[in-house]
Amino acid sequence: MLQTLLQSKDFLSLTLANPETISESFSFELADHTDVHVWDTGVIVFEPKQAGNKDIVLSCAVHGNETAPIEICNQLIKELLEQSTKVKHRTLFLIGNPPAIHNGTRFVEENMNRLFSGNHSSGEGLVNQERVRAKKLEDYVDRFYTSVTGERHRIHYDLHTAIRASKHEKFAIYPFRHGKPHKAEQIMFLEACGVDTILFHHEPTTTFSYFSSNGYGADAFTVELGKVRPFGENDMTRFVATHTMLTRLITGADLELSEFDNDKVNLYQVCRVINKNHDDFAFNFANDVENFRSFPKGYVLATEGGEKVKIEHEEEAIVFPNANIPVGQRAVIMLLPVAEPVLE
């Protein structure tokens, strides 16, 4: 029954028709070359019978209103189901938060990207659907990565769009590596996707990409593909390079990557994360200020609890400023440019 819904090759429709879960998982074959498994709502695995060495996770809709990544993933899935493309590498697609997609909101009860690495079960435990789903997504990633043995190259691109416009339209967050080197090849793959700006995180986080990076040694990134827009308002021509490179990746085509070139990318190091500690936290700049705007030393960036939060370095750039969050959560990430990166 569920499988017949996939005859239209529209996995997003199947997912949105069953936002909480599906009655049972199911599997089928694409000709004689690929096994397909639907493990849950929004969870589909393509497994080539002659698989290459990569295990690739592509996730979207960890934030429900970030529609462009959902459209990109659904298109990639459709092309695979129609057999106009064929995976060479095992590939898991995850549509993170279907109820929030229905709602047209970032989340229903709690920001899912603050719940990974077990944070879903901290405090009051699995009390809402985002917590339950975050735990299930962790379990699916674990099952996907650990069900094959041997020398595997694990990859996870968690696709998002940002609330604000950005000086660098497409950028990626490289989760904290605990001293392991950052990889030039990954940066150049992202550059070929049109993602020309990388932020090196300086500490562990509760994001999905950090979960795969830290727990499974995956080359994992949070990838921001532009500004958030509702369905029907995305200019899909802006994602052609991303779609092309992800297709090449999963189908095992030549990636045709250039050598690392510092002039082609903008690299930033996270120097600190400013959390909201009081209800009256307020930024001292307009709502339409873009991500990556920099401010000079001494500038009063924000105020809260009668205190001023000032810029500490000669120049610091901002990303993801958001005062409309619960006390205790991240209000903004502060960045310093990296002139000479140390890469592997």
Ligand X SMILES: O=C(O)CCC(=O)N[C@@H](CCC(=O)O)C(=O)O
Task: Show which residues are catalytic.
Answer: 224
Q: Output the CA–CA distances (angstroms, integers) from residue 67 to 139, 161, 163, 243, 290, in the order listed.
A: 24, 8, 12, 15, 20
By CB under 6 A, residue 170 contacts ligand X: no
By CB under 6 A, residue 320 contacts ligand X: yes
Closest CB 60 distance from ligand X, rounded Å: 12
63 is in an annotated binding site: yes
How many C-beta atoms surround the C-beta of residue 124 within 10 A? 8
Main-chain dihedrals φ then ψ at residue 231, nearest 5 degrees: -50, 140
**Can you give the length of the chain in residues?**
344
Return the structure tokens found at 286: 């307009």
By CB under 6 A, residue 209 contacts ligand X: yes
Contact of residue 73 among Zn ion, ligand X, none (CB under 5-8 Å per partner type): none
Return the structure tokens found at 5: 């819904």
Range 47-51, long-range pairs (CB < 8 A, 24+ positions): 47/87, 47/90, 48/86, 48/87, 48/88, 48/89, 48/90, 51/88, 51/89, 51/90, 51/148
- Do residues 292 and 317 lie in contact, with contact meaning Cβ atoms separated by under 8 Å? yes
Closest CB 184 distance from ligand X, rounded Å: 20
Among 15, 42, 61, 63, binds Zn ion (CB under 5 A): 63
Segment near ligand X (CB under 6 A); pick from 33-41, 127-135, 202-210, 212-220: 202-210
Contact of residue 243 among Zn ion, ligand X, none (CB under 5-8 Å per partner type): none
Segment near ligand X (CB under 6 A); pick from 31-39, 41-49, 72-80, 201-209: 201-209
Q: Which residues are annotated as a binding site for Zn(2+)?
A: 63, 66, 160
- Residues of this chain that interact with Zn ion (CB under 5 A) are 63, 66, 160
- Residues of this chain that interact with ligand X (CB under 6 A) are 63, 113, 160, 162-164, 173, 205, 207, 209, 222, 320, 322
